[in-house]
Amino acid sequence: MSVNWEVLYRAALQELNTKKVGEACERARRAINDRVTELAAEPTAGKEKEEERERLMEALRALVIHEHQRRAGK
C-alpha cells in the first residue's frame, strides 16, 4: 500500500513557502500516481473505485494550479 496520498496532498496545498511548494507537490503527485497504479492492478471494478480515481485526477489538477499560483506569488 502506498503512502496515504490524501495526507501528502493536503500538506502540499497548505505549503505556502515558494521554495518548498514544488517539493511538496512532487511528493503528493508521486503518492497519487502510486495509488492510481494500485487501483489499476486491483481486480475489481466498481463505483467506489471510479470515484476514487476521479478524486485522484482532481487532486492532480489542484496540485498543478496550487504550484503555479505559489510560484507566481499569488
Alpha-carbon gap, residue 59 to 29, rounded angstroms: 9
Angstrom distance (rounded) from CA 14 to CA 35: 21
SS3 state at 18: coil
- What's the pTM value of the predicted model, to 2 decimals? 0.86
CA distance 22 to 19: 7
The reported pLDDT for the residue numbered 48 is: 87
Q: How confident is the model over 6-64, as pLDDT tens digits? A: 999 999 999 988 899 999 999 999 999 999 999 888 887 788 889 999 999 999 999 99
| Contact status, residue 15 vs residue 46, Cβ threshold 8 Å | no
Q: Is the pLDDT of residue 1 over 60?
A: no
